[in-house]
Amino acid sequence: MAHPDSSLTDPHESALSRARQSPEAPAWMRGLYAGLCLYLFLSALNIMSGGLGMFGAETDFMERLFAYGENPFIALMGAVLITVLVQSSSFTTALIVTLVAGGDMPLGTAVYAIMGANIGTSVTGVIVSLANIRIRSNFRRSFTAALLHDFFNLLTVALLFPLEWISSLLHEQGRGLITRLANTLSEWIGLEEVANPNSPVKVITRPMVNLFDWLTGLLMPTTMAHGLLMAALGLLLMFIALVFMVHNLRGALLRRMDGLFRTYFFRTDLRAYLVGVFSTVMVQSSTITSSLMVPLAGAGVVPMIRVLPFMIGANLGTTVTSILAATANPVSAAMTVALFHVCFNLIGSAIWYPLRRVPTGMAMWYGNLAAEAPRYAFLFLGLIFFVIPVAGIVLVELYIIYE
């Protein structure tokens, strides 16, 4: 007969008790296994990015989409789509800064594209959370962790987009309040031109990316097909790596990491925030760091209360890439765009961290809903990152044509 309080058992405690009862592999083997899963996961992200980037370059999709960026709303939606496709806000923001530096994109609309990149980068966390869909408790935690990143970015854009747009209409040069703040800061900064260094993650995963590039190149007759197959195999590899990573986290490694993460790295909100900032600066990709947080939160290794500060820190850390791109293209407008990215994330943090119950409550509610009916997870993924951006661009274009 079941214990009367068995329904109240903490799933995290249950995972720990199961791990204690099961025979465990040596610690070095667990660590090696975790390192291999992590390497495959990081490689998969870069393989997807490489394949989608190849497809985008072959079709001129990104350049043609940004060519319609004169309208703020289209710039926002276009950047969402591009970031979703290349799986990297760092790539999108660097591209935006480069286009502004070359005079191919006006400053007045580039800032809205930066906002769209912030939304698009959170798609990877949602995709990663789907690897846990068979285990309801894990899926609830991991999907909620991904939603914390999503809702923070969506709420920040929902608040600052109209503020920036309306204030730009009242300015003689068409610049909004945040753009003017960023422009003032850029005038105070004098940076020498430097080369944009390679991300350390890209360096260590390059052999895997080159291997998949070579294999898919042999199988596919055209560059477009080559890129699409490479991206598909990268997505498959990501799911495989995540399944094994989560399995490893639920074992003996969970006990060892649990104490370290709870008592040191994520003991306070400030520590979680700083870990998010510095880890993202090191790998130059908030997509990677925020996506790694999702399975950790799903396995109960990281307390849910610390996920939002970490995600906010990761958002700030990724602005380093746009700063580097601006210093490599030392034009006033390019530096203004890069500093707009910094100001945008700092203002969003200043607003939503004190009001963190709002994004947290929304994420918890929808996370519970999706755990009970997983179709809501796919609905969120499709609507936010594909249907709404595409429909928004089409409707605005039709309005402009028939106006």
pLDDT single digits (tens) 181-234:
988 888 786 544 444 445 566 778 888 888 998 988 888 888 888 888 887 888
Does residue 1 sit within a domain?
no
Does residue 318 sit within a domain?
yes
Q: Following DSSP, what letter does each residue of 288-309 receive, concatenated?
A: HHHHHHHHHHHTTSS-GGGHHH
Does residue 25 sit within a domain?
no
Helix axes 27-59, 286-298, angle to 10 degrees: 140
Does residue 124 sit within a domain?
yes
Q: Tell me: the pLDDT tens digits for 43-97? A: 876 787 677 667 666 655 555 555 555 688 888 998 898 888 777 777 777 777 7
Q: Tell me: the pLDDT tens digits for 325-334? A: 676 566 778 7
CB distance 118 to 158 below 8 Å:
no
Does residue 254 sit within a domain?
yes
Does residue 339 sit within a domain?
yes
CB distance 336 to 359 below 8 Å:
no
Query: Which pLDDT score is estimated for 190?
Result: 56
Helix axes 269-283, 307-317, angle to 10 degrees: 40
Does residue 386 sit within a domain?
yes
CB distance 80 to 389 below 8 Å:
yes
CB distance 234 to 212 below 8 Å:
yes
Does residue 214 sit within a domain?
yes
Q: Tell me: the pLDDT tens digits for 11-46? A: 444 444 444 444 555 666 766 776 787 788 778 767
Query: Which pLDDT score is estimated for 5?
Result: 42
CB distance 109 to 66 below 8 Å:
no
Per-residue DSSP letter, 265: I
Q: How many domains does the chain have?
A: 1
Range of the domain at 233: 42-402
* Nearest in space to 105 (alpha carbons), one of 329, 370, 362, 343: 329
Mean pLDDT of 349-367: 94
